[in-house]
Amino acid sequence: MKKLHLLFINLFSCLLLLSNNSFARDSSYLNSVIKNPVVQGSGLLTFWGFHIYDAKLFRGSSLTSPEFALNIQYQKSFTGSAIANTTAEEMINLGVNQTQANAWAQELKTFMPNVNSGQVLTAAYQPAEGTIFFYEGKRIAQIPGRSFAKAFFGIWLDVNTREPKLRSELLGSACPPPLISESC
């Protein structure tokens, strides 16, 4: 009887966790930037054993389509300023000129929100518009241009990323978006 009681408690706990998983939340807002978005891959980032965020890479129904989006659900709280600074550091690691990376960090600081555990930031790329940012499914900003997008999304998708395991999980068995790699 005690085993049955423990099994029931464990099952209830699992169902409760699954029902509160906001990462499974509606991503229909992506329809405004990607036709028929589908998840290409997903993974998580840990740092010194701490779960930092979950990430999903969305592509159009055709994996050769140039539009894509990276969805990040944070598991820790961060200030918008810290996110912008880390973004610049990662861009510099990939070879972006420090002056340019710092200028982009300043631009990111003008709109990047503070995030709490469970909240979602999404960045989507459209060749004609550049990078479009969403916070909790609401559009918050846009940075035009291919060079920013290539540097920004390269943090996760470039072959020289600091997180090759996460890159592999995001890409799955498919190629990176054309912005990142012209050929596969």
* pLDDT in single tens digits along all 184 residues of the chain: 433 333 333 333 333 333 334 344 567 899 989 988 999 999 999 988 899 999 999 998 887 889 999 999 999 999 999 999 999 999 999 999 999 999 999 999 999 999 999 999 999 999 999 999 999 999 999 999 999 999 999 999 999 999 999 999 999 989 899 999 866 6
pLDDT at residue 24, as a whole number = 44
Alpha-carbon gap, residue 124 to 48, rounded angstroms: 29
Give residue 17's pLDDT.
34
Rounded Cα distance between 95 and 37, Å, is 30
pLDDT at 13: 32
Helix (H) / strand (E) containing 80: helix 80-93
pLDDT at 64: 81
Q: How far apart are CA 124 and CA 131, in angstroms?
A: 6
Q: Round to whole Å and give the CA distance between 177 and 115.
A: 27
Q: What is the pLDDT of residue 1?
A: 40
- Give the Cα separation of 79 and 113 in Å (integer): 7
Number of helices (H), then strands (E), in the chain: 5, 6
The pLDDT, as a whole number, for residue 61 is 80
Strands (E) located in 90-172: 120-126, 130-135, 138-143
Q: What is the pTM of this model?
A: 0.84
- Determine the Cα–Cα distance for residues 178 and 184; give it in Å rounded to an integer: 9
Place of tokens 């390269």: 154
Looking at residue 58, what is its pLDDT?
A: 96
pLDDT of residue 49: 87
